Amino acid sequence: MMVFRTLCLVFLVLAKGCLAQLDVCGKATLNTKIVGGQNANLGSWPWQVSLQVQGFHFCGGSLINNGWVLSAAHCFGSYKAPQVTVVLGLYNLSGNNPNKVSRSLTAAIINPNYNSQTNDNDLSLLQLSSLVTFNDYITPVCLAAPGSTFFTNTMTWVTGWGNIGNAVTLPSPGTLQEVQVPIVGNRKCNCLYGIGTITSNMLCAGLLQGGKDSCQGDSGGPLVIKQGSQWIQAGIVSFGEKCAAPNFPGVYASVSQYKNWIDQVITTDQPGFIQFTSSGSNSDLQVTCNNLPPYTTPAPTTAAPVVCGSAKLNNLTGTGSSLASAGTWPWIASLQLNGTHVCGGTLISQQFVVSSADCFSSSTKPSDWTVKLGRLNQNGSNPNEVSVTVTNITFSQGDSNDIAVLQLSSMPTLSNYIQPICVDQGNNNFSVGTQCWAAGWGTGGGAQQTLQQFSTVIVNCGNTSSSNSICTEALPIEQTTKGGSLMCKIGQSWIQAAVLTLASNSSNSTNNSTNDSTNVASSNSTISTKSLPDVLILKKDIQTFTKINTFISFLKSTVDSFPPAVANSSSSSSSSSSSTSGCQALSSLSVASVFLSLLALIQSFVL
């Protein structure tokens, strides 16, 4: 019972940690006067906050996770953190606000490079006195990631409770204002303000003819832009020449320049950064004026060679099952049918993903499918995610356990969160006792349906032929986790040994003889052996997979080429290391088995 309670406590802690993460950013469920603007709809901009001193609004800000607000540094020239109240879910500055939540500040952290004379690096991070709960009226915004591009005339939105004209205050009841303004390129903006005024840490937006702009009281508020279904904050209201004056667009701190600093300050529940990419060409590059240096094309850089099996953020040790963290398995893909996750998959080159053939029983039409790479959560924020459509699906033609190869419409940019795995081509020795892993999205991933990871070890296949099969201790594979990868590390590289498939029976079976002590479960058959009742002896199931190298001729004819491994490791050396680690893995095997069995027991109690 004590073990049961301990496991329950562990899972409660894991669940709490999962729920404490950033659930979603940039989602404005209710989004269907700044100068020249209009009243916003209630709940349209749920990240907008009001900074107040003694009940009076003086600056704006944006909620970026459940405990931090992003604002401008110059807002704190006269006020200190203990004086300031942050009001979230606010719609009107006066009157009834049923969705309003207030927090005091425990810290106001000014960017260390802020220059009050030039307004460069004009941003601050504000720590709330306690965490807030997200709802339709209080939601964090996503932040523009490094490498984002905002070309001239890209349309953005600015929100706030500032003046609606020069020295014209917002009339009662002080309803939140919104205005749409186009990006003005930095070269053009420098020509207008004076060469050198606009730095690479700034963005400009506004109508050159004037009439629409942010104004006094809007400072610190967000400049946002929509990409897909998410709103991304590109800028922070900083300064301007009067308000909405012709040829003087508003100037904003460029959020994408500050990811490193923000991540250094906020070390837990970090905000979601998403790269925004403008379409078309950037006309600002052709802008010239007196004393403006000509634009020079950056020297081309040599791309790093593509390798397979590299997971720089994978620091796993030990055994068992747990929730994965971002970048642990950078080749794992979510295969989605018309927007719904169906199966897992594995990136095996820059443009090809392999999965189980029976994942496509509902549709074999490529246009129905989308591949999500860099994904961690099925629900919530995925700042490292790339979504790619499918142009072709090819199926192997074996007797059973066929695989499918999906050709992507484009090659995703590789990163610590998106990498191909190495495919075993028959030159690796997965000896008995080798520790391997599987990962996928199934039940038990918490509210965010976070990617789960499971350790196992290679075992003897018994009476099953090992020439085309590889056997492991049974894994909790579900419909939504199949298609993924059985992953084993050889040397410095992670190798895909098999494609995950469902077992027809993965439960312990019993009968009346002790001659055999192992049950074998495969994707197409179960070999039941005689054993004593479970109350007397606990049997371990064995899962059988078809080796991926069985399909190597098909894969080589379908995939253009496979990237090389991170480092070459000979079969003999890998076999030796596997034997050593295998003894350690086998010593903890019984613990892992009991752990998984107790998990099943917990589920039975809950149900």
What would the 3-class secondary structure string for 358-385 be?
A: HHHCCCCCHHHEEEEECCCECCCCCCCC
For residue 429, the one-letter residue type is: N
| Model confidence pLDDT, tens digit, residues 195-232 | 999 999 999 999 888 777 576 668 999 999 998 888 99
21 or 304: which leads in pLDDT: 304
> Two tokens at 73?
């540094």
Give the residue among 65, 108, 447 at the shortest CA–CA distance from 268.
65
Q: Is the pLDDT of residue 573 over 90?
A: no
Instruction: Count CA atoms closer than 13 A to 409's CA, side-chain side.
Output: 13
Q: Is the pLDDT of residue 122 over 80?
A: yes
Q: What is the pLDDT of residue 331?
A: 98
Q: Is the pLDDT of residue 194 over 90?
A: yes
Q: What is the pLDDT of residue 503?
A: 56
**Which of 13-22, 398-407, 494-503 bottoms out in mean pLDDT, i.e. has the lowest?**
13-22
Q: Is 219 a catalytic residue?
A: yes
| Model confidence pLDDT, tens digit, residues 307-347 | 999 999 998 877 888 899 999 999 999 999 998 999 999 99
Q: Give the rounded distance of the alpha carbon of 215 from its chain centre.
A: 35
Domains observed in the chain: 16-286 (2.40.10.10)
> Two tokens at 63?
């909620």
Neighbours of 520 (CB within 10 A): 24
The continuous run of DSSP H or E covering 63 comes out as strand 56-63
Question: Taking residues 294-306, what's their average pLDDT?
Answer: 71
Say which of 62, 71, 74, 523 is annotated catalytic. Answer: 74
How large a percentage of the chain has pLDDT more than 90?
A: 55
> Two tokens at 522?
């495969």
Q: Is 122 a catalytic residue?
A: yes
Q: Quote helix, strand, coil % in the chain, to nearest 5.
A: 15, 30, 50
Distance (Å, whole) CA 574 – CA 422: 15
Give the residue among 239, 179, 186, 187 at the shortest CA–CA distance from 211.
179
| Model confidence pLDDT, tens digit, residues 59-88 | 999 999 999 999 999 999 989 999 999 999
Distance (Å, whole) CA 464 – CA 486: 18
Q: Is the pLDDT of residue 575 over 80?
A: no
DSSP state of 93: S
Say which of 219, 356, 522, 523 is annotated catalytic. Answer: 219
Say which of 44, 50, 71, 122 is annotated catalytic. Answer: 122
Q: Is the pLDDT of residue 6 over 60?
A: no
Is the CA virtual torsion 206, 208, 211, 216 positive or negative?
Answer: positive
**Which of 90-104, 326-340, 573-587 bottoms out in mean pLDDT, i.e. has the lowest?**
573-587
| Model confidence pLDDT, tens digit, residues 359-378 | 999 999 999 999 999 999 99
How large a percentage of the chain has pLDDT more than 70?
A: 79
